[in-house]
């Protein structure tokens, strides 16, 4: 790790603490060592009860879940992860990695490190890809699946800005080097995520700026952007749509009307998963956990209540109503 990385990570850690205080989340920042890939993973831990593992999207970090953690910490034992190469987790080189195998190995290795045979996964965007792969390739480890915001892999369409950034050689790296200002973050939330930046609290934006200013994070997401999207949309190797019928875990999908792919695409793909519940969220973009945390938390509680713990590993969905 370079000196610049170390300095940037310290600055981010302070912004993370401020964000958790803003949302009054009594989370503990800690590390676990995992086997595959061999690395240290940083996570935020809060609450008590049944375990929920939260996997962030994009170039983000565990602290992005603070609004939702504030709603759920009274009901669940929350483990919000920094994905490899993001936040305070160890750097990781994605250039030659088998992404699917890596995603499944990462999730199961974290569960092992936490001493969990299985858990409910809550994920958004790129984190959704990790969660979908785990549910498909390691079904006994995924008790339930809550996808809150369009997950990578569930649609083969992508907005024009993402296609250009991923498809034009060299652009993803130049793009990431310009993300470390409040102005750039506001523009990205408006143009790519379909959100009103004026509705985003200042400590949240400050945390985002600090997170994307970490050089290792910039490198990680610059590589992943190229591997996820091209000029024609989501790259074929990332699309899991034809396999979604193989998901056994009780599943909830939240999709905003201003998300990165149309609501009808989300509804159509969700219908491939037997018994899955699809919730179309009016006036919401790519981040329901930030824009509508109370409603997101309510729907997650309903998922858990409808599919009790002893049914999670068997795929018994008799209590989970399909809607939409």
* Dist CA 166 CA 164 (whole Å): 5
CATH of the domain at 80: 3.40.50.1820
Looking at the domain assignment, is residue 298 inside a domain?
yes
DSSP string, 117-154: S-EEEEE-THHHHHHHHHHHH-GGGEEEEEEESPPTTS
What is the model's pLDDT at position 2?
Answer: 79
Looking at the domain assignment, is residue 79 inside a domain?
yes
180: its two tokens: 């470390």
Three-state secondary structure of the chain = CCHHHHHHHHHHHHHHHHHHHHCCCCCEEEEEEECCCCEEEEEEEECCCEEEEEECCCCCCHHHHHHHHHHHCCCEEEEEECCCCCCCCCCCCCCCCCHHHHHHHHHHHHHHHHCCCCEEEEECCHHHHHHHHHHHHCHHHEEEEEEECCCCCCCCCCCHHHHHHHHCCCHHHHHHCCCCCHHHHHHHHHHCCCCCHHHCCHHHHHHHHHHHCCHHHHHHHHHHHHHHEECCEECHHHCCHHHHHHCCCCEEEEEECCCCCCHHHHHHHHCCCCCCEEEEECCCCCCHHHHCHHHHHHHHHHHHHHCCHHHCCCCCCCCCCCCC
CA angle 249, 252, 253 (to 5 degrees): 125
Share of the chain above pLDDT 90, in %: 90
pTM score: 0.94
> pLDDT tens digits for 3-43?
888 999 999 999 999 999 999 999 999 999 999 999 999 99
Looking at the domain assignment, is residue 324 inside a domain?
no
Torsions phi, psi for 119 (to 5 deg): -160, 160
**Residue 286 lies in domain:** 3-311
189: its two tokens: 């939330």
Which is nearest to 269 in space by CA: 102, 113, 150, 118? 150
DSSP 308: -
* Dist CA 274 CA 280 (whole Å): 18
Contacts of 189 (CB under 8 A, 6+ apart): 195, 197, 200, 285
> pLDDT tens digits for 120-145?
999 999 999 999 999 999 999 999 99
Looking at the domain assignment, is residue 320 inside a domain?
no
Give me the number of domains the chain comprises. 1
Looking at the domain assignment, is residue 321 inside a domain?
no
What is the model's pLDDT at position 322?
Answer: 39
Looking at the domain assignment, is residue 156 inside a domain?
yes
Looking at the domain assignment, is residue 316 inside a domain?
no
pLDDT exceeds 60 at position 311: no
> pLDDT tens digits for 179-218?
999 999 999 999 999 999 999 999 999 999 999 999 999 9
* Dist CA 143 CA 252 (whole Å): 12
Looking at the domain assignment, is residue 72 inside a domain?
yes
What is the model's pLDDT at position 4?
Answer: 84
- Cross-strand pairs, 33: 40
- Cross-strand pairs, 251: 145
Higher per-residue confidence, 235 vs 5 = 235
What is the model's pLDDT at position 309?
Answer: 67
């Amino acid at each position: 790790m370079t000196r610049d990385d170390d300095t940037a990570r310290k600055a981010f850690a302070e912004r993370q603490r401020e964000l958790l205080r803003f949302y009054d989340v009594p989370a503990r920042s800690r590390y676990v060592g995992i086997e595959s890939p061999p690395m240290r993973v940083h996570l935020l831990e809060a609450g008590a009860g049944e375990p929920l593992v939260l996997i962030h999207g994009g170039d983000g970090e565990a602290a992005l879940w603070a609004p939702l953690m504030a709603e759920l910490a009274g009901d669940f034992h929350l483990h919000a992860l920094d994905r490899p190469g993001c936040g305070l987790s160890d750097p990781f080189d994605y250039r030659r990695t088998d992404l699917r195998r890596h995603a499944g190995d990462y999730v199961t290795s974290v569960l092992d490190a936490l001493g969990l045979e299985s858990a409910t996964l809550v994920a958004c965007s790129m984190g959704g890809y990790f969660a979908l792969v785990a549910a498909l390739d390691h079904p006994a480890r995924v008790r339930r699946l809550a996808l809150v915001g369009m997950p990578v892999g569930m649609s083969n369409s992508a907005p024009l800005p993402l296609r250009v950034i991923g498809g034009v050689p060299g652009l993803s790296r130049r793009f990431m080097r310009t993300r470390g200002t409040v102005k750039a973050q506001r523009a990205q939330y408006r143009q790519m995520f379909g959100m009103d930046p004026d509705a985003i609290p200042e400590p949240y934006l400050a945390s985002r700026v600090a997170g994307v200013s970490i050089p290792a994070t910039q490198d990680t997401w610059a590589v992943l952007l190229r591997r996820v999207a091209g000029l024609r949309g989501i790259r074929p190797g990332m699309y899991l749509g034809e396999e979604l019928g193989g998901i056994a875990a009780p599943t909830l999908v939240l999709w905003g009307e201003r998300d990165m792919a149309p609501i009808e695409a989300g509804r159509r793909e969700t219908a491939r998963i037997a018994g899955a519940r699809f919730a179309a969220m009016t006036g919401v973009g790519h981040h329901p956990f930030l824009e509508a945390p109370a409603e997101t938390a309510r729907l997650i509680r309903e998922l858990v209540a409808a599919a009790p713990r002893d049914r999670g590993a068997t795929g018994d969905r008799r209590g989970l109503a399909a809607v939409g």
